[in-house]
Structure 1
């Protein structure tokens, strides 16, 4: 059983509550929202989508889909949680506006699709996407190299500007 996704949602919830945000897990099945965040009186709501990973793959990224290229909203944010290699690792989290995520996924996929694959063959279209902390490692040049996510790490305060 893989509970990494649930662990990521609860990790993000704990970070929000520790910072005095009013937050709740969205009901199962809500398509683009894992957590709802509001201001003290409930006037403004923001939605968070949580993507979680453990250090299993070689690229350090998160699985995404084609649909994430178009999911954009002023009040929608993504939280990318990395639990690291083992239980001794301190979780890391990056909080990004959905527009940044959508643009990054669109551009990286466009460049990936236009570059030759193994044996110089053209790549086949797919619905799978990757969101990476360092696209330079893949040979995809989209100005998202090492450190591009640094301004977003634990940047919970940007939510105060919207809720």
Structure 2
């Protein structure tokens, strides 16, 4: 089942909030127009706080980003990339990483792409579009849910 973009994004945020809640954290989804933070997360005691930016796609493991990802990072910000499979009976896939690791990779990767010749040897034009593909990251840079929880504790 293919969802429209808005429903896909909402579903991704709720999937992430549910995973955090299952692990004993309070996960508050922000208003739809909150730029840069989709979920505010706290432990029950309120002394461990961090933020999550969720990016959702359907049936693929690549996500389109804007260039602002290169500068919008902080010590307590993580990205969770959600892939919702076409088969509604399958669970979503998650790719989790720290915002600074993502920013550094996207910055370096985009500059490398710009420096290489495009089709027919032409110089590539810069744009605001970036792409996240987990295949280009080291395994230790990508987190699972338990590793995320360990980092924030």
TM-score w.r.t. structure 1 length? 0.83
Give 5+ residue unaligned stretches, structure 2: none
Q: 1:25 to 1:153 in 2, by over 3 A?
A: same
- The separation in 2 between residues aligned to 1:64 and 1:4, in whole angstroms, is 16
**How many pairs align?**
149
Confirm whether residue 159 of structure 1 aligns to residue 149 of structure 2: yes
Query: Which residue of structure 2 aligns with residue 28 of structure 1?
Result: 32
Give 5+ residue unaligned stretches, structure 1: 136-143
SS at match of 1:93: strand
Two-structure CA RMSD over aligned residues (Å): 1.9
- The separation in 1 between residues aligned to 2:150 and 2:127, in whole angstroms, is 37
Task: Extract structure 1 runs of 4+ deviating beyond 3 A.
Answer: 148-151
Query: Which residue of structure 2 aligns with residue 37 of structure 1?
Result: 41
- The separation in 2 between residues aligned to 1:96 and 1:61, in whole angstroms, is 14
Confirm whether residue 19 of structure 1 aligns to residue 23 of structure 2: yes
1:160 Cα deviation from its structure 2 partner: 4.2
Confirm whether residue 129 of structure 1 aligns to residue 133 of structure 2: no
Q: Which has the larger share of strand?
A: 2
1:126 Cα deviation from its structure 2 partner: 0.3
SS at match of 2:130: strand
1:16 Cα deviation from its structure 2 partner: 0.7
Alignment of 1:75-154 (within 5 A): 75-135=76-136, 144=137, 148-149=138-139, 152-154=142-144
1:27 Cα deviation from its structure 2 partner: 1.9
Question: Which of 51, 56, 65 is residue 52 of structure 1 equivalent to?
Answer: 56
Q: Which has the larger share of helix?
A: 2
Q: 1:17 to 1:90 in 2, by over 3 A?
A: same
- The separation in 2 between residues aligned to 1:162 and 1:67, in whole angstroms, is 24
2:97·2:141 contact (CA, 8 Å) conserved in 1?
Answer: no
